[in-house]
């Protein structure tokens, strides 16, 4: 039987706060370093505040809590990852979300990006192809109080299910896994004036984080921004 003293919650909380402070500073530095590609040398105060509020240690895989605030992706099982925090911040910033916006997320994963979107005031409709991830993510988000989120298991290539026709169009769409080309259904479900952020490219190809916009007339514009490496987008 161990005689070690019980863990000190306050000590752990202080350590997490320090690690999160370092992470936010790294995200700010990354934004400056990649500004030539993204056009965003500084992320909005709302995005940085959301990144500070979401407890990332709640969303990493078991045993990875000590590295939760490292600025790198981490495996969450089933061939999926929780994205690098800088990429989460960048994609969130590129969406230009306003409170009350309806956002479609393709690829819930563990729910980390979902939580950041909710912190920004969005109503989030999130789809996850892997049912074994969708259920725990839904429970986790509910436990943490993110009550403006819906999580379903579904095939993101088809967009939000047709049997729920009152939902689209969306003000913004975010895709957290890479298809080779933009799914037509997602373009159709993006509202006029809306923005979509999606990584495009195959597993063994150079992928590009891509910003897709639809103007008031319905004209769609696509702009590749930054080389990235995402897991492939899969079907259910």
Residues with catalytic function: 83
User: What letters, b where the CB count within 10 A reaches 16 and e where it falls short, cover 79-92?
Assistant: ebbbbbbbbbbbbb
Q: How many residues comprise the chain?
A: 236
Angle between helices 112-119 and 45-53 (to 10 degrees): 130
Q: Token pair 């008031």 is at which residue?
A: 216
- Transcribe 165-194 into DSSP letters: TTS-SEEEEEE-SB-SS--HHHHHHEEEEE
State the Cα–Cα distance between residues 201 and 79, nearest whole angstrom: 17
Q: Are strands 74-77 and 149-153 parallel, antiparallel or unpaired?
A: unpaired
Q: Which residues pair with 9 in a beta bridge?
A: none
148: which DSSP letter? Answer: T
State the Cα–Cα distance between residues 53 and 159, nearest whole angstrom: 29
CB 51, CB 59: distance < 8 Å: no
């Amino acid at each position: 039987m161990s005689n070690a003293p019980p863990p000190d919650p306050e000590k752990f909380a202080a350590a997490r706060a320090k690690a999160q402070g370092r992470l936010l500073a790294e995200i700010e530095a990354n934004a400056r370093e990649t500004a030539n590609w993204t056009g965003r040398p500084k992320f909005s105060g709302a995005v940085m505040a959301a990144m500070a509020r979401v407890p990332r240690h709640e969303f990493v895989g078991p045993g990875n809590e000590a590295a939760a605030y490292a600025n790198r992706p981490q495996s969450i099982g089933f061939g999926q990852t929780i994205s690098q925090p800088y990429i989460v911040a960048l994609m969130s910033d590129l969406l230009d979300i306003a409170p009350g916006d309806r956002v479609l997320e393709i690829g819930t994963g563990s729910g980390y990006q979902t939580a950041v979107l909710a912190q920004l005031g969005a109503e989030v409709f999130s789809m996850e192809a892997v049912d074994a991830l969708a259920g725990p993510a839904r429970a986790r988000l509910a436990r943490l109080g993110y009550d403006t989120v819906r999580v379903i298991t579904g095939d993101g290539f088809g967009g939000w299910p047709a049997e729920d026709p009152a939902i689209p169009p969306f003000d913004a769409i975010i895709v957290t896994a890479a298809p080779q080309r933009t799914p037509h259904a997602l373009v159709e479900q993006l509202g006029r004036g809306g923005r979509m952020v999606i990584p495009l490219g195959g597993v063994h190809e150079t992928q590009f984080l891509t910003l897709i916009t639809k103007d008031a007339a319905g004209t769609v514009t696509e702009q590749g921004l930054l080389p990235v490496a995402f897991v492939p987008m899969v079907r259910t």
